[in-house]
A and B are shown apart, each in its own frame.
Chain A
Amino acid sequence: MKKILALLLLTALPAPAQVIMEEVGTLSEQLDKAGDQFRSYKFEKSVQTLSTLISTLDDWEKNGSLQESDEAVYKKALEIRAVSYFHLGREQNAREDFSRLVKLDPDVSPEITSSSKILRFFNTVRDSMAGSLVLTVTPHDAEITIDGKAFAGSRTIRLLEGLHILKASAMGHNSFTREILVAAGKSVEESISLKPNARKVFFFIRPQGAKLFVDGRLAGSADVAASEKPEWSQYISGTGNDPGEFFAIEALYLPPGDHRIEISAPCHATRKFTIPVSLDAVENKPGYIKPLELQMETLTLMVDSHPRSAVVEIDGTKYGSTPVEIRDFCSGSHTVRVFKEGQGEYSQKLELRGVRSYRLNAKLRPTLLWLGSSMDQEVSREAGSLFQESMSSALSNIESFNLVLSKEENPFLSDTFFTRGVSAAEQESAVKQLCSKYRCEGLLVSKLSSEGENVVASLRLYVPGISGFDETTALLLDAREPSFLVKKFDPAKDVALSGPLFFSDGGEGVVVLRAGGCWNGIAPGDRITSIEGEAQKTPVEAAKWFTGSGKKLAVVYSRGPEVRSAEILDAQPVFFCDGDGAGSRKQWLRFNQEVISSEEEFPLAAAKLSLASVEIGLGRPLVALDILDGLQLAEQSACLVPTRKYLRAVALFHLGRLDEAKEELAALKALPEGTRLGSDGKVLLLPLVEDLLKMTGDGERR
């Protein structure tokens, strides 16, 4: 850095007082000037010029502001002035300057003069103050520091007399520290051999760009041709390969023991193996691993979607519409996005390796924007950022939704959804705007609140066009583990009542304990002996047939002594909303998506009934009624007729159309006692019908 040397002259002038700054030139200019004077034998002038300069540098040294670049000037100035003093016969002054020079750098030698007399004089001064350290270090490229100052390799180093701290370190070796006592005018020898603790290993790989992972961590990529270094070339040639075709990766120094190695490259099969690393006690030379060539690996990727005709985009490249089959598709890690305008999308990162073909059946799903987390002042920032980070990761694993992360820069945006002063209308508008920007169907935002010593986490879901929000709250026990909150939020909930159930009484087949809602008259107590021609022996075996596949199953069963057969539907369950607040919006997103994307009759009917139930739960009975009235129930879905009637009755009840509700309920009351609501046998219909009838003022007490 170029510094300006300035003199401040204060003059005692009457008011106003004046400060005059005289620029006398830069340090180097002063040094050059003194050098010129010295070379012109104007030693007196040279001393004069340097005195001001040295005085300034003395001050800087004393107050610690002397920079490294200044030090060189300082040393040179002292050297020129000492030699000038010597020529002027002022040996004491020369001794003082040489002493200061040696103190600054004991390793220095005067360069401005070749006079043997002066050099002897300097050596006398130096030997009275400093000794020598004759240092030998292995390995040669070890880093050496003495009192924190770096020195290169093995050499003789002059040091001021006294105690010094010597440190030596090198990659792959244990570091070394020792105190060295140096006596003035004496020489001390030190030989250091650092002990290896790891070994450098080179991999030579084809193709270029392959990534090397050591013990699960990325160690580098094969970018440098093996032909670039003679020792690599020699080694590769020695193995009968062309050094120009292989690329080197220098692995980190590996400690002794076994190491897991994984080498991967796009379109190539991953190689995984273990290498044992041992130390070379003598020289610890680098280890070379035999050249490795990754085999080309492609697969046939088949992408289908529900619904079909969705666009397939992989790593940003479009591959047509579903169903699509892509041959010779490169193995590796790919981001697959399948989307259909207005009908949702599916996005997932896939690791496609070690398989010849892969079939992806993408169920298009709604996309949620994760806006981030707001927090109370009492909650620590560390907990907040840990929570935010782990929530992003946990939310991206929800099966029912795609997740898109907010890139909004306003850190207070998430507060909009928790601050009391912000009106519902403002929140709704913000949701609409953000969802339009991010092409999302819902917005997720969370808050960490302090409640005494506890931190409570809340997760809210807003859906454009639906007022209010779903809220899930839980006590935050560990900011890194928000999965409990996400689990609570996930639409797939653990229901106490679900699906058909069987038991075994030791007799033939299994006895139905709870029948499905679309089981064509099969009731609890009936004994199922075979399903699809297969004899049923245990309840677990029988239960495996029922997954909500929508398939028809041929069943043989007995009721008392009579053997019967029937075709039953393994129906997808109908969801019944049990209230607004906890989860109506997420269920709305889920079933709205299913209605949009269902192509087959039965799942569509079940989804519409579920959606109608959610619409009632959201306080929109008229919308529910529209859905129910528009629902065509063909033969396959005839079992859902009572459900549609019941939901119609509830919607009509909420609309105050009691007579119409009663009409529906009267028809339902005539149904057999065991009739179920929905399709999975979960809910008994008639108690609900009787209860609703009572509320319409037309029921009978039991």
Chain B
Amino acid sequence: MASLGLAAQLTFPPSPGEKPDDARLLATARRSLFGGDPGAAYKHLLLSESGMAGDEEWRELLFLTLIGLGKPLDASAFVLGQKNASGRDRMRSELLLKREGPAREPARFLPETQVFRVPKEVARKAVSMAAAGGSVFVLTPEAFYTYPLDGSPQAFRTIAGGKEILDGKGEPLVLTSSSIVSVSGTTQLPLRINDAASFARAPGGGLYILDSAGKVFLLDDGGKIIEERQILIRKPSKIRTDELGRVFILSDSGDDISIYSSGFDPLFVLDPAASGAPVGRVSDFRPDFAGNIIILEKGSKELSFFNFSKRFLGSSSDKAFQADLFSWDGGGSLTVLDRKKSSVMKVSL
């Protein structure tokens, strides 16, 4: 078996003796992709193709790698060209075509008629929301509320200083300025983190924490700091990631979003105002799996949709709802909270 040093000299096509086994190639591809080098990931995936093309992880990595290489249509073609693509893969492939394809579909932001009420006090104080598993989660500075949409009783838990909810995989996590709270317990953040402001999932199971001093920390599963870097962005307020591990940071000062590779190399800055979209001040944003972004405008309380190529795909400006907070499943479903009406509603993209 070739050593890692040899693997670093791997070419496509390879020379005999230098090619490690397929499992190692796959691991290297994963590291390369989430380390910000999709080109190297691509090569390692090609080298393991004949042995791993039927492997689910190989397919997932190639799909993400092609997106990372700026070839979303190739990623989509890859999925559509497979005989046994899963429903999830097909859905993501179709979303790519809609959002990055030649006939980009305008975002519709269609509100559903059914509206769910939350107590006025909760709506007024809400700072973050999420939706997952048939429930809506609302966070205020004092408590974390769970509202099951099937009408079963609501629940709440007192959490002082809650700032943000992270939904999606497994149980929701709540960030306070000094801790991360989950159903299973509370993890104190290391002292080096000064007033945590926002957090996001990092590839490989860790978390990125953005603090008020503009530092981004990468924490492992146990809450230990693995990496720390100073971000040269004025007033960074929110940090998000997509499935490739690319990092998106909102600047409250510039109302723009700086986008970094998963290896933290700066890629580009999305300035919504410069794209001609009706966006002035950005209060929040969410990326989907491929880095397409929905932005919430602070003043108008409208949502705007941009693809990863910075193209404006539409807004909710002509729709009869306003959003103070929102969450997005990355597909076609959003949940928005309207403070004024103390309501939560579903919106189809």
Contact = CB atoms under 8 A, between A and B. Distances in A.
| A and B found bound together | yes
Contact of A578 (B9, B12, B17, B36): B12
B15 A616 contact: yes
- 7 closest A-B pairs by beta carbon, nearest first, are A580-B16, A525-B102, A687-B39, A514-B77, A496-B53, A524-B73, A579-B19
Given A687-B69, A688-B12, 12 more contacts: A493-B50, A496-B82, A501-B81, A503-B97, A513-B77, A524-B73, A524-B102, A582-B51, A584-B16, A614-B13, A616-B15, A701-B265
B42 A688 contact: yes
A578 to B, nearest CB: 5
B14 interface: yes
B6 to A, nearest CB: 12
Contacts of B265: 701-702
A643 to B, nearest CB: 12
B71 interface: yes
B9 A695 contact: yes
A404 B111 CA distance: 71
A578 B51 CA distance: 9
Interface stretch (A12-20, A194-202, A317-325, A617-625): A617-625
B36 A621 contact: no
A617 B12 CA distance: 9
Nearest to A527: B102
Contact of B47 (A497, A579, A618, A619): A579
B59 interface: yes
Contact of B103 (A494, A499, A507, A581): A507
Contacts of A688: 12, 39, 42-43, 46
A583 interface: yes
B40 A691 contact: yes
Contacts of A578: 12-14, 19, 46-50
B13 A616 contact: yes
Contacts of A513: 73, 76-77, 80, 97
Interface in A575-621: 576-584, 613-614, 616-619, 621
Contacts of A695: 8-9, 11
A692 interface: yes
A616 B81 CA distance: 29
Interface in A642-690: 647, 650, 653-654, 673-674, 683-684, 687-688, 690
Interface string A554-572: 0000000000000000000
Nearest to A506: B103
B74 A617 contact: no
A9 interface: no
B110 to A, nearest CB: 19
Interface of A: 468, 493-499, 501, 503, 505, 507, 511, 513-514, 524-527, 576-584, 613-614, 616-619, 621, 647, 650, 653-654, 673-674, 683-684, 687-688, 690-692, 694-695, 701-702
Contacts of B48: 578
Contact of A650 (B11, B71, B81): B11
B18 to A, nearest CB: 9
A650 B80 contact: no
A493 B42 CA distance: 20
Interface string B29-72: 00000001111101100111111010000010010001001110
B78 interface: yes
B261 interface: yes
B78 A619 contact: no
Nearest to B81: A501
Contact of A514 (B14, B59, B73, B102): B73
Contacts of A613: 13
Nearest to A677: B12
A496 B85 CA distance: 11
Contact of B77 (A524, A527, A647, A650): A524
Most buried by A among B9, B50, B82: B50
Nearest to B55: A496
Contacts of A683: 46
B106 interface: no
Nearest to B36: A702
Given A524-B73, A702-B37, A496 B15 contact: no
B101 interface: yes
11 contacts: A495-B53, A503-B76, A503-B97, A578-B48, A613-B13, A616-B13, A616-B14, A617-B15, A619-B16, A684-B74, A702-B38
B76 A617 contact: no
Interface string B74-112: 101110111000000000000001000111000000000
B50 A583 contact: yes
A172 B19 CA distance: 69
A526 B102 CA distance: 8
A497 B73 contact: no
Contacts of A654: 11, 15
Contacts of A616: 11, 13-15
Contacts of A684: 42, 66, 69, 71, 74
Given A524-B74, A525-B73, A687-B39, A653 B101 contact: no
A501 B8 CA distance: 33
A688 B103 CA distance: 29
Contacts of B40: 691, 694
A493 B40 CA distance: 24
A513 B47 CA distance: 23
B17 A619 contact: yes
Contacts of A690: 39
A654 B19 CA distance: 13
A101 B15 CA distance: 92
A580 B82 contact: no
Nearest to A699: B39
A427 B13 CA distance: 27
B273 to A, nearest CB: 26
A621 B18 CA distance: 14
A296 B15 CA distance: 60
